[in-house]
Amino acid sequence: MKKVITAFTAILIYGGVCLLCGCAGHTGFRSGQVFDAVTGKPIEGAVAHYTWGFNGILEDAECVGVGGHVESFEILTDKDGKYFFPDMTVERKDWWEWGFHPRNVIIYRDGYAAYIVDLSRVDSVSKLFGYPDVNQIYQHKNNIVKLYHWKEGESHDKHVHRIENAGLYSHHRELLERELEPEQKRAREQILNDRREAENKREEEKKRAKEQKIAWYNEAGWPVGCNFIPSTAINQLEMWQKDTYDPNTIDRELGWAEQIGFNTVRVYLHYLVWQEDPNSFKGRVDDFLGICARHKIRVMFVLFDDCWNGNARLGKQPAPKPGVHNSGWLQCPRYAEVNDVSKFPVFEKYVDDLLRYFGKDERVLVWDLYNEPGASHRPEVIFPFLQKVVEWARNAKPTQPMTIGVWKWDPNFSGLNEFQLANSEVISFHNYSGLEVMKKDIEKYKSLGRPVICTEYIARGAGSRFETHLPLLKSENVGAINWGLVYGKTQTIFPWGSPLNAPEPNVWHHDIFRRDGSPFDKKEIEAIKKLTKN
């Protein structure tokens, strides 16, 4: 308490003395001469800008000019490059100001690197922008300044900031600002050029990456195969959970796919299984890829899906509803989670982990980021989440191409479709219609100049058949991935909207084999093999 009273008393005494006697600062004489560092000739018209400042009463004496106000003076050098400041008096503005000190010196002429001296430093050595090895000892009188020409390649923007920061608290700097205008203009132009160059570089990198991914895809040849889930699984969770993952069935059924010449399968993942145990899940995915590789099959993984049931739960999955098409298939994420931003960090880690872990795996052909976005949610509702999914996937930088299949041409889907196509390095689409509609789709998508895959087709009752569509897809070099391989728990031999307990249809909707490996249609198998084996 005694120290506080003593300090307060000192302040009162100091303030009283200043009020009675005044307290002004004196600059002293300042002079110098400015030369061209290369030619040795004097530089006329250079701005000599000096700044002084007061300290605040409660501040350390070494904090020059901070707290109190500052004053600056400037002049242009004459034809001999000389400048001269007479001794000037600077009055205090506040009673608590004290300790008048020189702050800095700026000598600048357009076309040269600025000469700046921080006079609060003991050594008072100049710092020339772009010339870190050039130092000149400062003197108050007869100060000799050598200005160096601007170095090409240096940053005009940083140069301007260096000068402006040195004169930050100066109140009179009209000459300096006028002389700095051309450099400020160059700085703005350089910033714009740098931005353009950076954007061009990004576009070139994106183009090069896209070309590399297309080459990766083309090396595999014509992709032909099916959307695959083992017959023992009703949905993605039952396929991938530890207790129900069935490598024996997967191996057997992919063997049938290999026998008819299939070289590609499209397979759905689910974040819930990853979230429960990321390493264990990746181990099963790796095992699945190993099985595929033994059968000379590459994989297109689907990360998210907006179709069917939105209430996914880990654990034992429900039994199929007799006669009902895809009664147990699951959305990923769950319906309410699409707009739950608190879940986004989980989804981001899910995408990032898988695409980094398998992002250079030659067994993976393509990453399908989202199956049929807008199937369960309105396009405007799911669009923000889809944008984040694309962002996360891009950040992971897999070497394989990415796609988001377009599936519905409707005015309400125009923005969503444009986004999906713009962010697909390989174009993918779904078509369950007749041959003429398929022809139009192929023409439309091939016009975009990227590889094209039809990732869902075959609805026999709707006129989408192997005998008609597969020859067209092969002749156009469009990938062909039908829905379904083996009639199992998904029950996709039944058409969409089939009623409970519907009898087995005479014409299967999807799928090719029964569980014992016998085909639905032997002629169909021969038609497939004729195209895939040649």
Tens digits of per-residue pLDDT, 117-146? Answer: 988 776 788 888 889 888 899 999 999 999
Long-range contacts of 252-259 (CB under 8 A, 24+ apart): 252/517, 253/228, 253/485, 253/486, 253/513, 254/228, 254/291, 254/292, 254/295, 254/297, 255/295, 256/485, 256/486, 256/513, 256/517, 257/225, 257/226, 257/228, 257/295, 257/297, 257/485, 258/295, 258/296, 258/297
Q: How far lies 46's CA from each of 58, 138, 332, in Å?
A: 38, 17, 68
Q: What is the pLDDT of residue 52?
A: 87
> What does R_g of the chain's alpha carbons equal in angstroms?
38
CB neighbours (10 Å) of residue 235? 24
Q: What is the pLDDT of residue 130?
A: 87
Query: Mean per-residue pLDDT for 440-456?
Result: 96
220-532: CATH topology is TIM Barrel (3.20.20)
Q: What is the pLDDT of residue 60?
A: 46
Query: Mean per-residue pLDDT for 461-467?
Result: 97
Q: What is the pTM of this model?
A: 0.69
Residue 9, pLDDT > 60, answer: no
Residue 98, pLDDT > 80, answer: no
Residue 453 main-chain phi, psi, to 5 deg: -130, 130
Q: What is the pLDDT of residue 170?
A: 63
Contact 368, 481 (CB under 8 A): no
Residue 280 main-chain phi, psi, to 5 deg: -65, -40
List the one residue out of 414, 513, 516, 498 whose CA is nearest residue 461.
498
Q: Domains of the chain: which residue ranges?
A: 24-189, 220-532
The tokens for 309 are 């049931």
Q: What is the pLDDT of residue 24?
A: 81
Q: What is the pLDDT of residue 211?
A: 83
Q: What is the pLDDT of residue 209?
A: 77
Residue 294, pLDDT > 80, answer: yes
Q: What is the pLDDT of residue 20?
A: 40
Least confidently predicted of 2-6, 83-87, 199-203, 475-479: 2-6
Contact 392, 348 (CB under 8 A): yes
Residue 303, pLDDT > 90, answer: yes
Least confidently predicted of 59-63, 142-146, 179-183, 397-401: 59-63
Cα separation, 295 vs 491, whole angstroms:
25
Q: What is the pLDDT of residue 276?
A: 98
What is the pairing mode between strands 24-26 and 30-36?
A: unpaired
Q: What is the pLDDT of residue 109?
A: 97
The kind and range of the H/E element at 507 are none
pLDDT digits (tens, 9 = 90+) for 186-219: 999 999 999 999 999 999 988 887 788 777 777 8
Query: Mean per-residue pLDDT for 497-504?
Result: 96
Q: What is the pLDDT of residue 124?
A: 80
- Residue 96: band (very low, low, confident or very high) from pLDDT cuts 50, 70, 90: confident
Q: What is the pLDDT of residue 57?
A: 57
Strands of the sheet with 82-85, listed across from one edge: 82-85, 30-36, 143-147
Q: What percent of the chain has pLDDT over 90?
A: 77
pLDDT digits (tens, 9 = 90+) for 224-283: 999 999 999 999 999 999 999 999 999 999 999 999 999 999 999 999 999 999 999 999
Q: What is the pLDDT of residue 14?
A: 47
- Residue 23: band (very low, low, confident or very high) from pLDDT cuts 50, 70, 90: low
Cα separation, 116 vs 132, whole angstroms:
12
DSSP state of 291: H
**CATH code at 24-189:** 2.60.40.1120
Q: Is-same-fold flag (24-189; 220-532)?
A: no
Contact 505, 497 (CB under 8 A): no
